Amino acid sequence: METNERIKKLCKERGVTIQRLEIELGEKPSSIAKVSSNSKAEKLYKIARYFGVTVDFLITGEAPAAPMLSDIETRIIEAYRLADSVTQANILKLLDVKGDVGSDVVGRSAV
């Protein structure tokens, strides 16, 4: 799926027209509709991937506040938090993590 197709899909899913998006972002008419895989954003993405940083970092020089977790990662953390202390200890042993069960081994701020 091309970049402009993803943008159109996001607009449709969120109930926003391309024109409204352009107005909200202060862009020229039809500029977002013309976004393609050859856009500057795609180049920034490739550069960011090459260096192992985010596009946010390339643009602002600041690291994102917290990494985004996938749905499965979030569910794993939630399951760990809800588990009893024996199960948590077994998980930590399986992962070979050193630390006290109950200590914040899995960072709560990331979710």
pLDDT > 70: percent of the chain: 77
Q: Residue written as tokens 């200590």?
A: 103
- Which pLDDT score, from 0 to 100, does residue 87 have? 93
Six token digits for residue 106: 């899995």
Q: Are 36 and 3 in contact (CB under 8 A)?
A: yes
Six token digits for residue 14: 């969120």
- pTM of structure: 0.42
Six token digits for residue 70: 């996938």
Q: What's the Cα-to-Cα distance from 16 to each of 24, 71, 95, 98, rounded to whole Å?
A: 10, 25, 44, 48
| 15-51: pLDDT as tens digits | 888 888 888 888 888 888 777 656 777 777 877 887 7
- Which domains, from first to last, does the chain contain? 3-60 (1.10.260), 71-110 (no CATH)
